[in-house]
Chain A
Amino acid sequence: SYELTQPPSVSVSPGQTATINCHGDKLGDEYVYWYQQKPGQSPVLVISEDVRRPSGIPERFSGSNSDNTATLTISGTQAVDEATYYCQAWDTGTEIVFGGGTKLTVL
Chain B
Amino acid sequence: EVQLVESGGALVQPGGSLRLSCAASGFTFRNYGMSWVRQAPGKGLEWVSGIPGIGGGTHYADSLKGRLTITRDNSRDTLFLQLSSLRAEDTAIYYCAKSSSTSWNAGFDLWGQGTMVTVSS
Residue numbers of A with Cβ under 8 A of B are 1, 31, 33, 35, 37, 42-45, 48-49, 54, 84, 86, 88, 90, 94-101
Contacts and interface: CB of A to CB of B under 8 A. Distances in A.
B26 to A, nearest CB: 14
B41 interface: no
A33 B47 CA distance: 13
Contact of A98 (B46, B50, B109): B46
24 contacts: A31-B106, A31-B107, A33-B107, A35-B45, A42-B114, A43-B45, A45-B100, A45-B108, A48-B100, A49-B107, A86-B45, A88-B45, A88-B47, A88-B108, A94-B59, A94-B62, A95-B59, A95-B61, A95-B62, A96-B35, A96-B47, A97-B47, A98-B46, A100-B44
B112 interface: yes
Question: For the complex, would chain A's binding face be called helix, strand, loop or mixed by DSSP majority?
Answer: strand
B80 interface: no
A90 B105 contact: yes
